Chain A
Amino acid sequence: MSQHPPRDKRDPLARRKDRHVPPGLRSSAMHAMSARAAAGCFVLQACQDCGAVTYPPRDACPRCWGELLWQDQARGALVLCETTIRATTDLYFRDHLPWRMGKLALDAGPTALAHLHADLKPGDRADMHLMLDKGGNAALFALPAGGRPDMDDHQWREFTVPVKDRIVLVSDARSAIGRAVVKALHSAGAGLIFAGMAPPSRAADLTDELSGLDRVQTLPFDITDSSLVAEGISKIAGPLDIVINTARFVRGGRNLVDQKRMMDIAVLGFMRLSAACAPLLAGRPAGAFVDLVSIQALAGEAGFAGYAAAEAARLSLLHSFRHDMRAQGVRVLSIFSGPSDDEDHQSVPPPKVAPSRLAREVVEALHMGRETTCVGEVASDAMERWLADPALFVREKNL
């Protein structure tokens, strides 16, 4: 009889903590910046004509009124001055006072207000990170120059999803990717990992290698039925911080039975899982939902047409789910990958993504709070081409 590892003991009568998000109103230009921040880029606008770099986002160059383009910029900066905010009318920041911020002179040119890491003071060099705040909008965060992200900094934690000591559900831990994700979470110090085991159950499930790990518990879990999802989640019997949806069904060809199953897992399964987990995640200080989605979702692909269609539908739902969860401060992360080096893509030539690499990137995406991650060359290349010229990319993928 396995037992849950001990979780934090809490006052059973304490009222549930309402979660808030930072102010969310932004200009269209700022949303463009956020869209790039979502992919982990550090960008600022530069003038197409005079080259001047500008911030905050504008709609015309303040030097020559030329067109502005988003460009990657140097991350270096110098801290000019600082303050510790101890009073605010905003509900989110009230929950997190005192809050340190400062003004920095960016190596790229402009000055900018930014959240300050606890170790930074005026005169220090800093590295700028364009992070997404709890409301999903881009915000500048200054870390000490050359330093690693610091998961203990209480402000930095607000922009990331700490894994250490958190309770995680992996929807399908039977696949090579699912197993790798469980192991990566385990290495990252997750407090308790529920490894979902999709049917059919096997005799060997009881002695599965995963359940041999401390802090890992296997759990019958099937996202193709709402009542089974509910039953699975009921067995978690406590808070849930992070859900990682590794479930997928990959088949080529045009078999309708396969297609239905692909839709049932990728689309309806996503809906069942996300709907069941949303209220649990919303109550947590750093809730996150991570979905592994195929890069084929972007443009479809002859040969995997049905699978790509299911993944495209899943991606569409993922966008909407992100919207739904934004007001609750729950991060919804997309991990795109091309063919993985597993039984699902035996007939696809390399390059392929090793499940262990995909798993590491899941943990990294959580630790950076990165909304969109492309793992491997196939996914990165596809995303780049799709962003550059979607019509051409769709054509090329289906020539």
Chain B
Amino acid sequence: MNGLQVALLVADSAVPQSASEPGLHERILEHLPAAIYMTDAEGRITFYNRAAAELAGREPELGKDKWCVSWRLRRHDGTLLPHDECPMAIALKSGLPVRGEEAVAERPDGSLVPFLAYPTPLFSANGELIGAVNMLVNVSERSADTVMRDQSERFDVLQSRLAAIVEFSNDAIISKDLSGTISTWNKGAERIFGYTAEEAIGQPVTILIPEEQSDEEPGILRRIRNGERVEHYETKRRRKDGTIIDVSLTISPVRDHLGNVIGASKIARDVTGRKRAEEALARRVNEQAALHEFTARLHRATSLKEVYQAGLDAIIKALGCDRASLLLFDENEVMRFVAWRGLSEGYRMAVNGHSPWTKDSSDPNPIFVDDIETADLSDHLKEQIRSEGMRALGFVPLVTKGALVGKFMTYYDRPHVYSRAEADLCLTIARQLGFSVERLRAEEARRRVEEALRESEQRLQLALTAGRMGAWEWELGSGRVIWSPGLEELHGLEPGTFGGTFDDFKRNIHPDDLPMVEARIGDALRTSEDYHVVYRIDHPSGTIRWMESFGRFNRPAEGRSPRIAGVCMDITERKQTETQRDLLVAELSHRVKNTLATVISIARQSFATNPDAVEAQRSFNARIRALGQTHSRLAEASWSGVSLETILLDELAPYRREDQTNLSISGPYTSLTPKQALTLAMAAHELATNAAKYGALSHRGGRVEVEWTKTEGQLRLKWCETGGPKVVAPTRYGFGRMLLERIVAADLGGDVRIDFASGGLCCEIDMPLQPR
């Protein structure tokens, strides 16, 4: 069929050359055996050749007939086709060529000529539609035989192609009759199901159906009988070797030429791989989700407990095991449960401490027991696991920094084959878990240390505050001096206002002490030994305060400058106490020595003035005892003073009779200074011993009355004896009398008058109570 090319040739060359060589092309066209005609843009026929007139069975009228050369046009089914709907009309109206449109021309004699039309619109150089050319191919000459043969050949080709497709398809393509007997079986079916065509054909299709799916077939058959198609039905089928595979079925009814359903064709695709991939994918997604959540939780975890729970969740979710537990070595290197899911207390008690590895196992590997019944475990352990209702378990070591710290366990209630992927997953979880346990342990340890440090710092601060102490530190490299707030307070500074340099430190030091302080610091720096110095500072309050400072030279760590750190305390009170103590010691020394000198003096006087040595000895002893007694009184009152009445009673009490009639002591309460007390005690002693020896106290009827008054700071004391032997004025001026008369005058600035009246001795003492 080359008519089309001819037509195009005409379309390309005829129009532009028609002017120069009129008639040439038309003559060629006139004699071509193909029916050809042309129209103008309106469809009016402008040219036709002989073959066209023969096909139409008439002579068309040029410039008048439109669209087609034929008398009438009919469609393939015999209906009338109006001329303005003919292929040529369509080509002209659409501006597009039509290729081989079939139509039937009715000649005026009634004969019908089927033809194929190839109208092509023609355009001028500027794109304007100027007309069209049409070629009509008479197809009535093709005989019925030819058509039949053609169809048969085409069917054979199709058939063989189809057979090849069926034969080499990856899918199983099977047909069966309505009783379910297999009638065809391709190579794909053989590959998928394992049966050869010889084995399968004639067998019921149920040989492929597992028991679980046995109720499917009647339903499928029912749907097929009703002419329904079953598409992409996913189910399970059984191979010849018994393994179950996942398949996707498409089942179509097969009909005879009358349209009756006589069987079914079935396309089965093995989707086991896809199913497995899908399941594996779902599992991976699940694992990834579990791991992701695990990582996030570990990251957020602030306590070991949170880490344990996150670990157990991850193990159970990612591995799909029934139970899990987590064990860590305790301080005695015994593996102990720290967290668990689904384990009874009895089980935990029974297996606590069990570990396939010791603490120093290097590079421990996980141990997976797929089934305890066939595993190499102790009978005791097996029994424990069995009674807990478990069959499979995995031991996964937790290793941090190369050392085993514990393990986690996975448990399955049924035998479980641990896959490579699961083992890898276990190790992934173990790595993260081990790392987090280590991190949290380190953090908790750090927290404990920090807490202890904080507590100890608080205790230190308390101690510093209570002891009026401050802490300081001097960085020798930078020259920076750091003072604690307490130290600033000791120096009368507001917290944070210390300048922070060595000069700031020196500023308040008393000028007299500064050279000494600098020398001590120099010594400490030179020898790196401890620093200890006591110095004065000028306190902002205007007072002088004593400071004692201790420092220790810190040998610096690599890359750090040396420092001296220490404490400083205000020892002003201690210094004052020390001064007072020194004064007291000096005072005591002074008193003791004066007292000894006094004793020597009394001794000298006692012995020098009394010719009777025995008597002198007795007097001396009595005087020293009296002196000692007064000292005791003063000591009892811490040398602050003692009352006159006490002094008098001490001297007179030994002479008092039981009826107390021989003594009378009366006067207002009068406090005496130590010196007054000692002197008056000596005077009273001399008076009392004299009375006992010669006066009122030596005689049964005798009586001593002591009375005193205080007037304007002046003490007036009167000692009067009555009822004693007749008084004889002494011929000798003894020590006792001298003591009485002179000591009170000399030591107390008083005045003593002694009257040796014959009725009884009378002594009056006048003295100031305020010391000179």
Q: Do A and B bind each other?
A: no
User: Which A residues are within 8 Å of any B CB, using their own CB?
Assistant: none
User: Which B residues are within 8 Å of any A CB, using their own CB?
Assistant: none
